[in-house]
Amino acid sequence: MYPVKENLLKVKQSLHESIELVAVSKFHPKEYIEEAYAAGHRVFGESREQELKQKHQELPQDIKWHFIGHLQTNKVKYIAPYVTMIETVDSIRLLREIEKQAAKVERVIDVLLELHIADEETKSGMSLDECRELLADGEWKTMSHIRIRGIMMMASNVDNDEKIRQEFITAADFFDEVKAKYFADDDSFSERSYGMSGDYLIAQECRSTMVRIGTTIFGPRVY
Ligand SMILES: *Cc1c(COP(=O)(O)O)cnc(C)c1O
C-alpha cells in the first residue's frame, strides 16, 4: 500500500494552514481516497466525469469533490447534483450550462475561472483578455446558481522556478485586477487555485489560496 497518510500529513505540514489542499485522486483507486479520508481529509479533485461519478457513489457522502479537468457542457448535468466546485470554467457557454443545471437541482455551485497563462498549447483555460471579456459582458451577474469564487491556473511544466514564479504572480495580479473591478464587495471571491506537486511551495510564496496536489500524496498515476 502506498503511504498515502504519511504523504498527506507531510504535505499538510509544509503548507500554511490557511491554504486549502485539494488532494488530486484522479486515476487512483478508491482505497487511496479512503486512506486519506481516514486521516481526516475531505477535499478531493477529479478530472473525468465517469470516474468522479463512480467514486462519488462508492465513497462517503461528505467528501467535497472539485472538478479540475476539462469539462464538456454535455457532462455538466451529471456532476451538478453533488459537485462542490468546478475549477475549470473556460467559457460563457460552460458557465451558462452550469447555471442551468444547478438551477434544476436547486443548488448554487462554486466555480473558478480557469486562466491560460503558461506558453504551452496543451494547457487549457482562457487568456486574460478572454476572461476580461467574459466578466465585462456581465451576463454572469444574472446567474444566481453559480458563485464565482476566484481564479485557477496551471504553470508551465518547466524546470525554471523563476518562470513559474512569474506565471503565478501574473495570476495573482490578475486576481487583484478583477477583484477590484467586479468583486470588491464580494468576500466569496477569494480563491487563487494554483500549485501542483512540482511547484506548490513556489505557489504558496506567490499568494496561492488553494493547491491541487496528486503525485506527492498518491504516487505516480497509472494511465
Ligand atoms: C492532475 C492535476 C493536478 C495534480 O498534479 P500533480 O502533479 O500530480 O500534483 C493538479 N491540477 C490539475 C488541473 C490536474 O489536472
pLDDT by position in tens, the chain (length 223): 789 999 999 999 999 999 999 999 999 999 999 999 999 999 999 999 999 999 999 999 999 999 999 999 999 999 999 999 999 999 999 999 999 999 999 999 999 999 999 988 877 999 999 999 999 999 999 999 999 999 999 999 999 999 999 999 999 999 999 999 999 999 999 999 999 999 999 999 999 999 999 999 999 998 8
Cα 212 to middle of ligand 1, angstroms: 6
Q: Directed axis angle between helix 92-104 and helix 128-137, to 10°?
A: 50
The three three-digit cell numbers of residue 135, written as one number: 466578466
C-beta 150 within 6 A of ligand 1: no
C-beta 124 within 6 A of ligand 1: no
Q: Nearest to residue 170, comparing CAs of 187, 153, 185, 184?
A: 153
Contact indicator for 94, 114 with CB cutoff of 8 Å: no
Q: Which atom of ligand 1 is nearest to the CA of 200?
A: 9
Count of other CB atoms within 10 angstroms of residue 119? 10
For residue 10, give every residue at least 6 positions away whose Cβ sits within 8 Å of its Cβ, in sequence order, or none. Answer: none
The three three-digit cell numbers of residue 145, written as one number: 446558481
Cα 133 to middle of ligand 1, angstroms: 27
Q: Directed axis angle between helix 49-58 and helix 30-38, to 10°?
A: 50
Count of other CB atoms within 10 angstroms of residue 34? 14
Nearest-angstrom CA–CA distance, 119 and 170: 13
Contact indicator for 158, 164 with CB cutoff of 8 Å: yes
Cα 98 to middle of ligand 1, angstroms: 23
φ/ψ of residue 207, rounded to 5: 70, 25
Nearest-angstrom CA–CA distance, 45 and 34: 14
Cα 5 to middle of ligand 1, angstroms: 18
Of 7, 196, 221, 223, the one to substitute when testing ligand 1's pocket (max ligand atoms within 8 A of C-beta) is 196
C-beta 203 within 6 A of ligand 1: no
Contact indicator for 200, 20 with CB cutoff of 8 Å: no
